[in-house]
């Protein structure tokens, strides 16, 4: 069952959110490890997501690492293996800032689960997507300082968090192709929104891979390895791969996920809420990595007709576009649909059933929200939202 954003949070969820510096109204999918996303109306409020409501996805316990003793090893297909302190990372390389949206491959899995159960996975709503300004050193510069060899094809990332969600249990790891690792936008970050990276987001340092699924942005990074092959971590070899609907997860089975897919979400009014009759500001986001969003359409008649929504300004090549449109809602049940188009002219498939897959990744189908429209005085206190 989907946990609706209007439900009250349990005291355990609220305590867990507070202990990680998150708002009380986070939608918590698990407290051990802590996994949580912002309530949709909160996420709608700004282009940058404040740290206290940025979604967080953890496969194991959050490591408590001392920045003074933390080291980043750079090895594998390099001429000179490095062992960098955080001070060296901060002082020996140019400091860069990139604003980037991070999106979990499981974003909007809850809607896939309504079509057919996705066993053993957290049922994320549209909030496993958030945007921050990241500050750090370019991974490319660090790899060049180590003398990356020409035959390296992948940069593999390792972290110390041990997780029983992998088979067999192991620490977290992942990789990206070398062309992406050497792109200017990929950072070894120590700051988020101008503040020190919090533990739950990867302190003392993490990689941020803009435009790729969140799983590749490894937190608590302790090793970068130049390699001929992708990471042999469970999270590269078996998880975060797209299977056909009748596939069975296993090493090397399915399509390894890297660049994000075209997607969109409706945040306000949130699915399952009650709104007053009349003009309602419908708001959401759309994201397609560096392909960029060209248009978002919204429909009140299940796609028979569409109206174009207004897009906010593109704040940079690696961020979502937020969109909004005032729609006249009549008493009864309103089913709102949205679909985005990227700059290459691709758009989203209509139904979640078309894209269902056993691990519940990449729900790229039309965004949907069903709301109850009532005369103004009956409006529920739970309803939407401060508008930006």
Instruction: Tell the smallest beta-carbon distance from residue 216 to ligand MTE (Å).
Output: 7
- Residue 240 zone, left/alpha/beta (φ > 0; ψ -120 to 50; rest): left
Among 70, 93, 124, 220, binds ligand MTE (CB under 6 A): 220
Structure tokens at 241: 């791969």
347-377 burial, b at 16+ Cβ within 10 Å, e below that, comes to bbeeebeebbbbbbbbbbbbbbbebbbbeee
Residues of this chain, 290-329, that bind ligand MTE according to CB under 6 A: none
Burial 141-175 (b: 16+ CB within 10 A, else e): bbbebbebeeebebbbbbbebebebbeeebbbbbb
Nearer to ligand MTE among residue 44 and residue 221 (C-beta): 221
Contact mark string toward ligand MTE, 49..88, x via CB under 6 A: -----xxxxxx-----------------------------
* CB nearer ligand MTE, residue 140 or residue 208: 208
Give the nearer residue to ligand MTE in terms of CB position, either 45 or 58: 58
| Of 353, 351, 350, 367, residue with least CA distance to 287 | 367
CB under 6 A: which stretch of 67-75, 209-217, 298-306, 356-364 binds ligand MTE? Answer: 209-217
Closest CB to ligand MTE among 62 and 282? 62
Residue with tokens 């949070």: 9
Alpha-carbon separation of residue 377 from 332, 334, 335, 383 (angstroms): 15, 18, 21, 12
285-286-288 Cα angle (round to 5)? 150
- Interface with ligand MTE in residues 174-203 (CB under 6 A): 201-202
Task: Give the integer Cα–Cα distance in Å for 187 and 356.
Answer: 32
164 or 388: CB nearest ligand MTE: 164
* Of 44, 178, 218, 265, the one binding ligand MTE by CB under 6 A: 218
Verify binding: residue 336, ligand MTE, rule CB under 6 A.
Answer: no
Select the residue interacting with ligand MTE from 219, 223, 295, 359 (CB under 6 A): 219
104 near ligand MTE, rule: CB under 6 A: yes
Pick 108 or 324: Cβ nearer ligand MTE = 108
Residues within the interface to ligand MTE (CB under 6 A):
54-59, 102, 104, 159, 161, 172, 201-202, 214-215, 217-220
């Amino acid at each position: 069952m989907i946990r609706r954003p209007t439900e009250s949070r349990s005291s355990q969820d609220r305590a867990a959110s507070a202990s990680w510096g998150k708002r009380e109204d986070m939608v918590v999918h698990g407290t051990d490890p802590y996994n949580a996303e912002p309530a949709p109306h909160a996420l709608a409020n700004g282009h940058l997501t404040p740290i206290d409501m940025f979604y967080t996805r953890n496969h194991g316990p959050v490591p408590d690492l001392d920045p003074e003793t933390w080291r980043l090893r750079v090895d594998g297909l390099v001429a000179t293996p490095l062992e960098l302190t955080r001070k060296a990372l901060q002082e020996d390389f140019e400091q860069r800032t990139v604003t980037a949206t991070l999106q979990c491959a499981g974003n909007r899995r809850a809607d896939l689960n309504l079509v057919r159960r996705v066993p053993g996975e957290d049922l994320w709503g549209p909030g496993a997507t958030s945007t921050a300004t990241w500050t750090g050193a370019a991974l490319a510069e660090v790899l060049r300082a180590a003398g990356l060899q020409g035959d390296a094809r992948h940069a593999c990332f390792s972290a110390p968090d041990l997780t029983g969600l992998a088979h067999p249990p192991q620490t977290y790891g992942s990789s990206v192709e070398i062309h992406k690792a050497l792109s200017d936008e990929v950072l070894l970050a120590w700051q988020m929104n101008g503040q020190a990276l919090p533990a739950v987001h990867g302190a003392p340092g993490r990689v941020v891979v803009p435009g790729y699924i969140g799983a590749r942005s490894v937190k608590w990074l302790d090793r970068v390895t130049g390699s001929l092959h992708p990471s042999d971590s469970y999270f590269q070899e078996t998880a975060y791969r797209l299977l056909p609907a009748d596939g069975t997860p296993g090493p090397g089975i399915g399509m390894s996920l890297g660049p994000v897919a075209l997607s969109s979400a409706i945040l306000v009014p949130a699915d399952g809420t009650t709104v007053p009759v009349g003009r309602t500001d419908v708001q959401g986001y759309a994201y397609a990595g560096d392909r960029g969003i060209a248009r978002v359409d919204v429909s009140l008649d299940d796609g028979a007709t569409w109206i174009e929504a207004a897009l906010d300004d593109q704040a940079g090549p690696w961020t979502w576009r937020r969109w909004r449109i005032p729609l006249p809602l009549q008493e009864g049940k309103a089913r709102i649909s949205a679909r985005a188009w990227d700059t290459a002219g691709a758009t989203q498939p209509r139904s979640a059933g078309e894209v269902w897959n056993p691990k519940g990744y990449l729900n790229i189908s039309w965004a949907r929200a069903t709301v109850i429209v009532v005369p103004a005085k009956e409006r529920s206190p739970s309803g939407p939202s401060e508008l930006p």
